[in-house]
Structures are given as C-alpha cells and as structure tokens.
Structure 1
Amino acid sequence: MSALFNFQSLLSVILLLICTCAYLRSLFPSFIDRNKTGMLGIFWKLARIGERKSPWVSVACLLMACSILFWT
C-alpha cells in the first residue's frame, strides 16, 4: 500500500520531508533558496515551515514516533 492511501504514512512522509528540507537548508542554503518557484519551490516551502514552526514540527514528530511505536 502506498503512502498516498494510508493517512498515517502520508503524515510521516510529510513530516520527514519538512525535517529533511529544513536540515538541508541549514547545510546548503544557496541550493534551497535559488529554487523558490516552480516544482522545486515545494522544498523551499517545506524548509520554511520547518524553520518557522520548529517547535510544532518537533512535537508532531514525537507524536508520530509514539504512535508508530506503540499503537501500530
């Protein structure tokens, strides 16, 4: 089953993308910042969400980890 049809898997993929993009932007800011429009602009937007909403993203990651470990 793909992640598109399972809501929990879709949320974990989105959280992983947010965290990965924010981490890569901290390492290579010019790579992420030059692609603000188009298809690759999605990664720039995910990196911005990860930077600006980092406490909320970290809480969501912890909740997702607990749900995967204990309730699945």
Structure 2
Amino acid sequence: MSALFNFNALLLVILLLICTCTYIRQVVPGMVDSRKDKNIFFGVFWKFARIGERLSPYVSLCCIAMAVITFVG
C-alpha cells in the first residue's frame, strides 16, 4: 500500500521530510535557501525546513508519537 492511501505512512513521510529538510538547512543553508524562489519544487523543501525550525518542539513530539505508534502497532 502506498503512502497516499495509508494515513500513518503519509504522516511519517511528512515528518521525515520536515526533519530532513531542517537538518540540511542547518548543515548547508545555501542549498535550501538559494532555491526557495526559483523553483516551486524546491520551495516546498524550504517551507518544510521553516516548519521544522519554528515548530521544533511540536515536530519532536510528533516524531516521538509516530515512533511509539510504529513500534506498538
């Protein structure tokens, strides 16, 4: 079953994208920042990085909750 039809898998993919984009922006800021206006595809990655930076406590709690749900379920 693909992530589009499984809600838990979709949430997991979104959380992983947020965490990955935030990490990449912290390590190599020019890689994400330089492409935020040039291409709509890479602009989405910049928005994921911004969400990870500004809402990091909530993203962390969601990651912990998804880990518990994945291990228990």
Instruction: Give the TM-score of the pair, scaled to structure 2.
Output: 0.94
Unaligned regions of 5+ residues in structure 1, if any? none
Unaligned regions of 5+ residues in structure 2, if any? none
Equivalent-residue separation in structure 1 for 2:50 and 2:61 (angstroms): 17
Instruction: Give the TM-score of the pair, scaled to structure 1.
Output: 0.96
* Aligned Cα root-mean-square deviation (Å): 0.6
Match 2:61 to one of 39, 52, 59 = 59
How many residues are aligned here? 71
Structure 1: 4+ residue segments shifted above 4 A: none
Equivalent-residue separation in structure 1 for 2:7 and 2:46 (angstroms): 24
Shift of 1:5: 0.4
Percent identity (aligned): 56
